[in-house]
Amino acid sequence: MTSTVPNAIEQPEGQQPPITMFGPDFPYAYDDFLAHPAGLGQVPATEHGTEIAVIGGGLSGIVAAYELMKMGLKPVVYEADRIGGRLRTVGFEGCDPSLTAEMGAMRFPPSSTALQHYIDLVGLETRPFPNPLADATPSTVVDLKGESHYAETMDDLPQVYRDVAEAWARCLEEGADFSDMNRALRERDVPRIREIWSRLVEKLDNQTFYGFLCDSDAFSSFRHREIFGQVGFGTGGWDTDFPNSILEILRVVYTEADDHHRGIVGGSQQLPLRLWEREPGKIVHWPYGTSLKSLHVDGAPRPAVTRLHRTAGNRITVTDAHGDIRTYRAAVFTAQSWMLLSKIDCDDSLFPIDHWTAIERTHYMESSKLFVPVDRPFWLDKDARTGRDVMSMTLTDRMTRGTYLLDDGPDRPAVICLSYTWCDDSLKWLPLSANERMEVMLKSLGEIYPGVDIRKHVIGSPVTVSWENEPYFMGAFKANLPGHYRYQRRLFTHFVQDRLPADKRGIFLAGDDISWTAGWAEGAVQTALNAVWGVMHHLGGTTDPTNPGPGDVYEEIAPVELPED
């Protein structure tokens, strides 16, 4: 387990199929689709070389562009900042280049099997991420209300934490059919998944995470709810998620998205960068040795998009920051959907009005991180009096909230993520510079570890990010509020366009905020593959009968539709 409060009933290893992000909203096997030797489909030869706009060079955009290129199309990628999006790995000025900080995505669950396909494809290595109480974490300190508890396993924490863990397990079982859904997901039992989830969506769409806890007899104690909010499950305290829809949380716990995390050695941004440069072994139309990089002038994406509109013949016309205007048969939009409301001048005719409403109602979470480079993993030094690590992975109700210790061996420089916070906790930092933030965090940690001089080990300037203040993001990731299920369904299902009026087709939405698993790279990959199918279908292409795509089986597994009246 990687949590102080388990998110699942533990099962014996090796006795069941693994949990994957197979549903519950749209139980389609994206991993099998990718692994099939027939490939993802083909377009008519007359369409080979057709340019397709891909707006956004994050993971979703690069995956979509890569797969469209393999089909013989010519993706034209637009990127306002840098390839990678929220897979952003940065260094520390003047320090060893091997020292990096993950400003966005930094840990990935094994249940992200479509994501893992691409990690393996480009030859990246992963290793366990040091989450609270994970096997890879030497020790964890839980510090609440001025009282600290040192733990190497869950059993080292006071009984109240185990009581909270048991309450969460009971709450999930009684209120969300956890064991039944767990079994159905492992077995990929589509009818059973849909039966359970349809009932829960109808019952819980209007419920908050906190309300779900309060409705459970298992969480009748306010103290237990408070501890659960501060310590949480998986990666730490989740009280910042309390106002969000409980459906968002169930998607995480059902699929073990917050468990058993691994990080990409050398940084997550390598994944989209390597895909950008990769020359596929199997490719249609283009000569061997073609890559996304080689298809773009000077090997770089086009600049930011400033205008999107429809033109004659139901084409999508794109204007970029250099004033270049190009018209396309189809386009894939993968940036944060709020960009369509603010940064990009858009025609109303791009989408049906109900989809515009869904875009406008999208709710993003704030998130901030602060990293510092240090001379060595000094936290592994032993306290002469207690024999314990002098510092640990730390969960606290102080300003730091979550502190992660990241090393590459005992004799090498290392990195501390001094703080990782969300929502209101993130907004508290917003006016502060990186150095001001560091001072606040060192003060908080000094109160937990009064005998440890962290500052003397710091060897460079801190790096920080507040995603809500990033001009091309305006938030870290989507998190639906109660009542938002219908909006999310409209966005996710937009790739199936046969029922849309002809003048509303041809632009496809993708990205983790379009997915059911926002905040997870798996959602970015899955919606990219949906968009690839959509473009292929739009151009008259088909999948191989032995490997139907997400749109081919859509009617059989479509997300439950709630009434509008």
Span 102-131, pLDDT tens digits: 999 999 999 999 999 999 999 999 999 999
- Tell me if 416 is assigned to some domain: yes
What is the pLDDT confidence band of residue 15, given thresholds at 50, 70 and 90? Answer: confident
Q: Report percent pLDDT > 90 for the chain.
A: 92
pLDDT on residue 1: 29
Tokens standing for residue 115? 């994501």
- Nearest residue to 491 (alpha-carbon basis) of 502, 476, 478, 503: 478
Break the chain down into helix, strand, coil percent, rounded to 5: 35, 20, 45
**CA-CA distance, 197 to 170, in Å (whole number)?**
18
**Which CATH number does the domain housing residue 349 bear?**
3.50.50.60
The pTM of this model reads 0.96
Cβ(197)–Cβ(182) below 8 Å? no
Cβ(372)–Cβ(438) below 8 Å? yes
45-to-73, 186, 326 alpha-carbon distances in Å: 10, 40, 22
- Tell me if 20 is assigned to some domain: no
Helical packing angle, 159-176 and 178-187, nearest 10°: 70
Domain's final residue, options 450, 469, 488: 469
- Tell me if 223 is assigned to some domain: yes
- Tell me if 286 is assigned to some domain: yes
What is the pLDDT confidence band of residue 231, given thresholds at 50, 70 and 90? Answer: confident
Is the same domain home to 176 and 300? no
Is the same domain home to 287 and 348? yes
Tokens standing for residue 304? 């930011």
Is the same domain home to 388 and 438? yes
- Tell me if 143 is assigned to some domain: yes
**Which CATH number does the domain housing residue 145 bear?**
1.10.405.40
Strand partners, 372: 416
Tokens standing for residue 526? 């899955």
Count of structural domains, the chain: 2
Is the same domain home to 255 and 403? yes
Q: For residue 555, which amino acid is it?
A: E
Is the same domain home to 329 and 450? no
Q: What is the mean pLDDT of residues 37-62?
A: 98
Contacts of 534 (CB under 8 A, 6+ apart): 495, 496, 497, 508, 551
Q: Chain-wide mean pLDDT for the chain? A: 94
Is the same domain home to 79 and 154? no
- What three-state secondary structure class fits 65? helix
What value does the CA radius of gyration of the chain take, rounded to a whole number of Å? 24
What is the pLDDT confidence band of residue 16, given thresholds at 50, 70 and 90? Answer: confident
Cβ(166)–Cβ(6) below 8 Å? no
- Tell me if 23 is assigned to some domain: no
pLDDT on residue 236: 67
Match 């106002």 to its residue by tokens.
Answer: 243
**CA-CA distance, 169 to 399, in Å (whole number)?**
28
Q: What is the DSSP letter of 427?
A: H
138-to-258, 285, 401 alpha-carbon distances in Å: 19, 52, 19
pLDDT on residue 11: 46
First to last CA, the chain: 43
pLDDT on residue 6: 36
Is the same domain home to 501 and 382? no
149-171 pLDDT tens trace? 999 999 999 999 999 999 999 99
492-to-26, 109, 512, 513, 534 alpha-carbon distances in Å: 9, 22, 10, 9, 12
pLDDT on residue 238: 78
375-406 pLDDT tens trace? 999 999 999 999 999 999 999 999 999 999 99
Cβ(247)–Cβ(215) below 8 Å? no
Is the same domain home to 229 and 162? yes
**CA-CA distance, 333 to 353, in Å (whole number)?**
17
Q: What is the mean pLDDT of residues 44-66?
A: 98
Q: What is the mean pLDDT of residues 292-301?
A: 98
- Tell me if 115 is assigned to some domain: no
- Tell me if 403 is assigned to some domain: yes
- Nearest residue to 416 (alpha-carbon basis) of 121, 159, 100: 100
Helical packing angle, 353-361 and 485-492, nearest 10°: 120
Query: Helical H runs in 290-431?
Result: 292-295, 353-361, 423-427
319-372 pLDDT tens trace? 999 999 999 999 999 999 999 999 999 999 999 999 999 999 999 999 999 999
Contacts of 251 (CB under 8 A, 6+ apart): 24, 25, 257, 516, 517
The boundaries of the domain holding residue 453 are 128-264+365-469
